[in-house]
Amino acid sequence: MTTRTESFVINEYYHIYNRGNTKQDIFFDDKDRDRFVKLLYLCNSLKRIKFKEYIVDRKIDAWDFDKGDPIVSIGAWVLMPNHFHIYITPNKENLADNPVSLFMGKLCTAYSMYFNKKHKRTGKLFEGTFKSSHIDNDRYAKYIFSYIHLNPVKLIDPFWKDRGLQNIENTNEFLNKYYWSSYNDYRNKKRSENKIIFPKDFPDYFVNKKVFDKDIFEWLTFKNSYLES
């Protein structure tokens, strides 16, 4: 398992992202996406998780598994066909050195092993070790939060980042139906995936769902070219 050695500071926020080797897809179907999302939850622990032994063989719901205390706090996430994004902060109660790298190493290794076995392939799944950017101000944080949650829009409008959102109502309707992100967790939709995120460990940007629906589009006004993926 390849890990990174740089420090991630407790109570600081980071944008984490990675994509498939040579930009290949890393999710072929909903079963792949479902496995990755469950690993987002299960790998956030000091425990070594053996998915087949602990979950599949015992016929346990992954969301009910006692994985122990988290080592990082996740504030937002999204899956796209060939990449993913996570908004993250090291958990102040963790006992691990470099908890972000530990979590990401477990996540990417576990998913790569699953994916290669299922699809009968060998070699690297991801382009390399994950990439990260430090979120060092409130405006940047709001932008990242919006950027992550609006990423799926390019599945229906590939050029929206250049020309802007053409129809916010249609965009909102699409995002409400897009399952593979934390968008609906912030819109108070009850589902097992609520367990992945820890909103209390991040700035309280939202008073209610109505504010979320409005502000998430306005925050995209802060642009930063190196975030494009």
Q: How far apart are CA 68 and CA 59, in angstroms?
A: 19
| C-beta of residue 105 within 8 angstroms of C-beta of residue 3 | yes
- Name the least confident of 30-39, 87-96, 155-164: 87-96
17-48: pLDDT as tens digits = 999 999 999 999 999 999 999 999 999 998 88
Confidence of residue 212 (pLDDT cuts 50, 70, 90): confident
Kindly state the percentage of the chain with pLDDT values over 70. Answer: 87
| Identity at 95, one-letter amino acid code | L
> Which domains are delineated in the chain?
13-131 (3.30.70.1290), 138-223 (no CATH)
Closest CA to 51 of 41, 1, 94, 99: 41
Which of the four pLDDT bands, split at 50, 70 and 90, describes residue 95? low
Q: Looking up tokens 């122990």, which residue turns up?
A: 68
pLDDT at 109 over 70: yes
72-101 burial, b at 16+ Cβ within 10 Å, e below that, comes to: bbbbbbbbbebbbbbbbbbbeebeeebbbb
| pLDDT tens for each residue of 128-146 | 889 999 999 888 888 899 8
- Residue 93: pLDDT band (50, 70, 90) is low
Residue, of 165 and 71, whose pLDDT is higher: 71
